[in-house]
Amino acid sequence: MVQKNLIDGEWIAGSEAFRNINPSDTNDVVGEYARASAEDARAAIAAAKAAFPAWSRSGILERHAILRKTADEILARKDELGKLLSREEGKTLAEGIGETVRAGQIFDFFAGECLRLAGEVLPSARPNIGVEITREPIGVVGIITPWNFPIAIPAWKIAPALCYGNTVVFKPAELVPGSSWAIVDILHRAGLPKGVLNLVMGKGSVVGQAMLDSPDIHAITFTGSTGTGKRVALASVEHNRKYQLEMGGKNPFVVLDDADLAVAVEAAVNSAFFSTGQRCTASSRLIVTEGIHDRFVAAMGERMKGLVIDDALKAGTQIGPVVDESQLNQDTDYIAIGRQEGAKLAFGGELLKRDTPGFYLQPALFTEATNAMRISREEIFGPVASVIRVKDYDEALIVANDTPFGLSSGIATTSLKHATHFKRNADAGMVMVNLPTAGVDFHVPFGGRKGSSHGSREQGRYAAEFYTTVKTAYTLA
Ligand code: ADP
């Protein structure tokens, strides 16, 4: 059965369909999904525009109930939805279920936020005048998401968009339509009025582009590559619309001489290789001071030998496959580039054979890398990390910040002085002390600086900055 697009409250088949393939076993077709056309995208935008006046004035209890019901169903079905996610994306079942729970928590959080909408009442600078500051929805929000978090990223964009009274046109990544289809189905059945949430699965160059070109989309929230992010920005400036971008990372993880070695290795392995390194918060630059360097590299090698890389759904798998062939080629190309640049491939980097045909890659660790090499400057988005040796903390901080990106930054140290200094001086939106660079909470701001992000933060109460616009009203008493 082909899973359809949702346009104006109707499930629409369209003329084409595409297959969702399991990267752990390319013989396994997860499902077939209708491919939306540019025409479908325009119909979805028109439906969202028509639905906006009523939804923007809907009661907070109605919105609360729909988001709450959605959270409950996602959490009740976490094992099934988590399995679907792991099957289509290739992260392990534990990671798939964990991400699904997080999506449920996000809907739960924003269900609560519907009941906490508030403004401010202030005295005017002039006598006998009152001032009210309120938040209003923006209008039609376009949501464009990547493949690496198939349920959490759609959740953290759709939930606040609806909570604050916007209507939505949602385009998920073509590689992973299953999880997106499932949450749209849940929201639809939870009672959303027609046209409030529209799903258009399909190609970025067609469906996504039709969204960028529409004057009727008032805001776009995008997570994906730097190149596409730039297109979103340019089109948004053209249409004078609000936009928010979450793009790449080249996140540093600093290990100081005084670090607890076991803590440092666990955090580094998690940061660099878990979720197959396919997280924008993954660390691919391990910046290590001289005194601990050799012990750290040896311990990393030992730890990496024990990693179980296999089918994402198999019990005991710690690292699943790469998401598809083109991403695998990108990873192996960068491994070749690293060698040509003179870094030493200390461990891994081999293609692996498993029981089923899939995109299996042994995590790779380079040593003797410099921060000037391409493998240290460009986002690889796979299980490939480099160790960069530095003299001391001061040099480590300079190297950590010397990157075009600024999403997440980590440090392993037992020194309060260095931890405190690093928190203040890391040029990143998120800082982790003795923790992996990836792995964030659902109720606090997420986002970065420099080439990683543009616009206000996602998640938690800070999401209101993007999904609402502020009105200041003056009244003569
Ligand atoms: P990734 O490398 O993560 O696939 P992309 O930026 O290519 O990064 O994809 C992120 C999202 O952007 C996907 O949903 C993709 O379909 C969409 N996309 C790609 N090209 C365009 C475009 N020209 N206009 C709008 N969206 C696009």
**311 and 405 assigned to the same domain:** yes
| pLDDT tens string 199-251 | 999 999 999 999 999 999 999 999 999 999 999 999 999 999 999 999 999 99
**389 and 286 assigned to the same domain:** yes
**301 and 402 assigned to the same domain:** yes
User: What is the pLDDT, as a whole number, of residue 424?
Assistant: 98
445 within domain boundaries: no
Ligand 1 centre to CA of 262 (Å) is 38
Ligand 1 centre to CA of 288 (Å) is 35
Q: Is the pLDDT of residue 345 over 90?
A: yes
Query: Which residue range(s) make up the domain with 169?
Result: 2-247+452-476
**344 and 401 assigned to the same domain:** yes
Work out the average pLDDT over 147-152.
98
User: What is the pLDDT, as a whole number, of residue 15?
Assistant: 86
Ligand 1 pocket test target in 89, 228, 280 with most atoms within 8 Å of CB: 228
**331 and 397 assigned to the same domain:** yes
Q: Tell me, what CATH number does 317's domain have? A: 3.40.309.10
Work out the average pLDDT over 451-455.
97
**Percent of the chain at pLDDT exceeding 70:** 100
440 within domain boundaries: no
**105 and 239 assigned to the same domain:** yes
* Nearest by Cα to 230 from 445, 404, 41, 465: 404
pLDDT band for 144, please (50, 70, 90 cuts).
very high
**CA trace torsion 204, 207, 212, 215 (10° rounding):** 180
CB-CB contact of 309 with 362 (8 Å): yes
pTM, 2 dp: 0.98
**242 and 259 assigned to the same domain:** no
Cβ of 204 less than 6 Å from ligand 1: yes
224 within domain boundaries: yes
User: What is the pLDDT, as a whole number, of residue 227?
Assistant: 96
Q: Is the pLDDT of residue 14 over 90?
A: no
Work out the average pLDDT over 358-377.
98
**270 and 344 assigned to the same domain:** yes
**243 and 269 assigned to the same domain:** no
Q: Is the pLDDT of residue 17 over 90?
A: yes
Mean pLDDT of the chain: 98
Angle between helical axes of 177-189 and 152-163 (0-180°, round to 10): 30
| pLDDT tens string 277-311 | 999 999 999 999 999 999 999 999 999 999 999 99
Ligand 1 centre to CA of 375 (Å) is 23
246 is catalytic: yes
DSSP string for residues in 129-156 = EEEEEEEEE-SEEEEE--SSSTTHHHHH
DSSP string for residues in 366-419 = EEEE-TTSHHHHS---SSEEEEEEESSHHHHHHHHH-SSEESEEEEE-S-HHHH
Q: Cβ-count burial of 413 within 10 angstroms (0-12 exposed, 13-18 middle, 19+ buried)?
A: buried
| pLDDT tens string 84-99 | 999 999 999 999 999 9
**271 and 374 assigned to the same domain:** yes
114 is catalytic: no
CB-CB contact of 393 with 425 (8 Å): no
Cβ of 212 less than 6 Å from ligand 1: yes
pLDDT band for 477, please (50, 70, 90 cuts).
confident
| pLDDT tens string 100-120 | 999 999 999 999 999 999 999
Work out the average pLDDT over 132-138.
98
Q: Which ligand 1 atom is the nearest neighbour of the CA of 226?
A: 6
446 within domain boundaries: no
225 within domain boundaries: yes
CB-CB contact of 263 with 434 (8 Å): yes
Structure tokens at 135: 């938040």
* Nearest by Cα to 179 from 117, 111, 99: 99
Cβ of 142 less than 6 Å from ligand 1: no
**266 and 243 assigned to the same domain:** no
Q: Any bridge partners for residue 243, and if so which?
A: 220
438 within domain boundaries: no
Q: Tell me, what CATH number does 7's domain have? A: 3.40.605.10
Into how many domains does the chain fold?
2
**471 and 428 assigned to the same domain:** no
Work out the average pLDDT over 413-428.
98
